[in-house]
Structures are given as structure tokens and as C-alpha cells.
Amino acid sequence: ENVLIKTDVVIIGAGPVGLFAVFELGLLGLSAHVIDVLDKPGGQCAEFYPEKPIYDIPGIPACTGQELTDGLLAQIRPFEPMFHFNTSARHVEPLGDGGWRLTTDAGEVFEAPVIVIAAGGGSFMPKKPAIAGIEDYDGKSVHYAVRKIDAFRGKRLVISGGGDSALDWTMALQPVAQRVTLVHRRAEFRAVPDSVVRMLALADAGKIDFMLGEIVSLHGEEGILQRVGLRTDTGVREIGCDAFLPFFGLTMKIGPIADFGLELQAGRIVVDTEKFETNRKGIFAIGDINVYPGKLKLILSGFHEAALMAQQAFRYARPNQKLLFQYTTTSTKLRDKLGAA
């Protein structure tokens, strides 16, 4: 059953630029729904470097990716954006009145005069290991994410990878699984040191198996795994396995947005530098996803683009109203909107 949602603006992408767009639109009285394929806001800042410092946000000498995300969320709270996580924007089509209809893979249908694409490097997708025939098992017994821990109860699990996801899920699934085997190519990990210590303690206590090596083959029928081939220093052997969970990190792909009928250049969306609008009126692209002469893929550029986009978005969403330029410092109207004293 599809749900129809009518709003001023739909923003695709809850990265830093999509979040700040909520603010700039909100100042002009426009409300926004924000959708993201990830299960949380922050885009690259939250996914790739939550604990690393950023030094070039104007006025903030240093903050981590997560701190910037938290600050943006606090800043936009007065505008009550509606978030739709775990949701991918799939398709856009024009409405008769000049607006747009956008559909998602979660069954929502949005109708809005303005769509803002703040999709960064594109959708985050799991990196898949190069094992012959792996796609036959995808979603059935090979999983790149854990949605429900209970789905793995009583199963023989093989988890692969050396980062935080591999270690976190090894520890979270160990109590419910029949057996967890963690396989990693090297003895070094790219994870929080404390997780490594806890994982090795579980292995020492015989509660999990930790193997140095690589999964090289899958064996089963009709997508149901029975065994996997494990290659180690001493050769290849097969181990019993009901579910294989490779955690090899995420890459970004432009994904369904490539089919939105927008002019692209090397996988990025071409915009003007006055309104950051695409070749389709009412569809804007801001942040890392766009391209124009002189473009810098920096957060501060995306913030500027959001401010100029909002000016034109207002004209589409409120065709009969006049747009006044105001400072947040001195405008009582803006201060009211922000809930400031």
C-alpha cells in the first residue's frame, strides 16, 4: 500500500548538506521531508569519519564528523523535518501542475513543487567479496547488514572482515548463534581496540572461532548455504555454514538518481551556479553530487549552494508570495521561527 505525502520540498540525502538545506528552506518558511538509504543522518561524516576532526567549517576550529552532524540536527530541530531512513529515492516524474512525484523503495509517494538532491557520492552500497556465484545467495543466506538479530538464532554463522562492523556483529550474534566463525585475512584490525580485545577473549574462551584466512567459495542449493570454502596458509577446507556475513565496508554509487532524466557529467549532476538547479525545473542538486565550473567537494561549498537553492525553491513553492531578504540576527520573524528569545 503506497502512502501519499504532500510537502514543500523533498530532500534526497541526510548528509551535512541535506541537513543544512532543511535550515535554509526553513528560514523561508518551507518544510521538508528528508530521505536517506542509511539508517542515520550525517552521510559521509557519520559513515566514514565520525571520530575524525574537520578543520574547515567556518567558525568551528575543529569538530568531528559526528559532532558536526549533531550540531546540524540541533540547528534544524525548530523546523521539524520529517526523516525517512532506510529509504531509497527510486523514481521521479513530473506532475501536471509543474511539481514532481517521487517514489521510494519503501512504498512512499511524495508530491512536491521542489526536489533537492543532496545525495553526495550516491547511495552507500556494501562492497561484495569476489566469490563466484555469490549473487545466488544474496539476501537468502549471504547478508551485508543485520536487520534482525533473531533471524540468525541457532545458525552457524561465518562473518568476514576486520573492521568495526565485523567485530561488533561477531560479538552481538555470538550469544544467539549456534556458532560464530570470524574470518579475517590479517591479524591486524581496523576496529576500535577495545572490540579487538573483547573478540580475542571470546576466541580464547572457545566461544567463537577466529580464523586467519579468506572465504573463497560457497556451497549450497537454491540460495541456501551449507558450507563455505576457507583458504588459510595450509590450504582450502570447507566449514559448515548457514549464513555468511561479509563486512568489507561501503562504497558509494550514484544509483537510481542516474535515471532521473538529469544532465550528468562523469556521474555527477550538472547545475547552474545561480540557483544550483538541474536541467529539470524544480529539481536542484547541491553538495558533492553536483558539478559546475570550479566546484570544490567541500562541506562549506554545499552549505552555500543550499542557501542559494532555497531562494529559488521559495519561488516555486510560494509563487504568490514575495521573498524578503532578512538576517537571522535582527529579524524578529526569523528569530520566532528559530524559537530564539
Binding-site entries for FAD: 36, 44, 49, 89, 124, 288, 329
Q: How far is the CB of 309 from ligand FAD (least distance, A)?
A: 12
Q: Which of 11, 69, 81, 88 binds ligand FAD (CB under 6 A)?
A: 88
Give dist(CA 53, CA 44) in Å, integer: 13
- Determine, following the binding rule CB under 6 A, whether residue 18 of this chain makes contact with ligand FAD: yes
Q: For ligand FAD, give the closer residue by CB, 13 or 162.
A: 13
Q: Which is nearer to ligand FAD, 133 or 267 (CB)?
A: 267
Q: Give the x-and-dash track for 281-310 against ligand FAD (CB under 6 A).
A: ------xx--------xxxx-x--------
Q: Which residue is nearest to ligand FAD (CB)?
A: 120
Residue 116 near ligand FAD by CB under 6 A: no
CA 6/CA 2 separation, integer angstroms: 13
| Whole-angstrom distance, CA of residue 285 vs CA of residue 99 | 16
Return the HEC string of 182-241: EEECCCCCECCHHHHHHHHHHHHCCCCEEEECEEEEEEEECCEEEEEEEEECCEEEEEEC
By the rule CB under 6 A, 257 interacts with ligand FAD = yes
The residues in 29-48 that bind ligand FAD, with binding defined as CB under 6 A, are 35-38, 43-45, 48
Q: Which is nearer to ligand FAD, 49 or 210 (by Cβ)?
A: 49
Least distance CB 252 / ligand FAD (angstroms): 7
CA distances to 44, 89, 165, 293 from 94, in Å: 30, 15, 40, 28
C-beta of 83 vs 210, nearer to ligand FAD? 83
Q: Which residue, 281 or 295, is less far from ligand FAD as judged by CB?
A: 295
Given CA atoms 53, 55, 60, 61 in this order, what sign does their dihedral have? positive
Q: CA angle, 189 as apex, 207 and 184 as ends, to 5°?
A: 60
> Among 13-21, 156-164, 195-203, 207-215, which window interacts with ligand FAD (CB under 6 A)?
13-21
Pairing type for strands 214-221 and 224-232 reads antiparallel
Q: Between 38 and 157, whose beta carbon lies closer to ligand FAD?
A: 38
Give the nearest distance from C-beta 183 to ligand FAD in angstroms: 27
CB of 42 to ligand FAD, least distance (A): 7
**Amino acid at residue number 255:** G
Helix residue ranges, H only, the chain: 16-27, 43-47, 65-76, 164-173, 193-204, 299-317, 332-337
Shortest CB 219 distance to ligand FAD, Å: 34
Number of residues that bind ligand FAD (CB under 6 A): 37
**Is residue 118 near ligand FAD by the rule CB under 6 A?**
yes
Measuring CA to CA, how many Å separate 152 from each of 173, 175, 223, 247? 7, 10, 16, 16
- Binding ligand FAD (rule: CB under 6 A), the pick from 7, 9, 13, 225 is 13
Q: How far apart are the first and last CA of the chain?
A: 44
Minimal distance, residue 255 CB to ligand FAD, in Å? 5
The overall longest dimension of the chain from CA atoms, in Å, is 75
- Is-contact 55 63, C-beta < 8 A? no
> 336: alpha, beta or left, given left = phi > 0 and alpha = psi -120 to 50?
alpha
CB of 17 or CB of 215, closer to ligand FAD: 17
Pick the stretch among 118-126, 197-205, 236-244, 329-337 that binds ligand FAD (CB under 6 A).
Answer: 118-126
- 122 makes contact with ligand FAD (CB under 6 A): yes
CA-CA distance, 87 to 33, in Å (whole number)? 12
By CB under 6 A, name the binding residues for ligand FAD.
12-18, 35-38, 43-45, 48-49, 54, 56, 88-89, 118-124, 255-257, 287-288, 297-300, 302
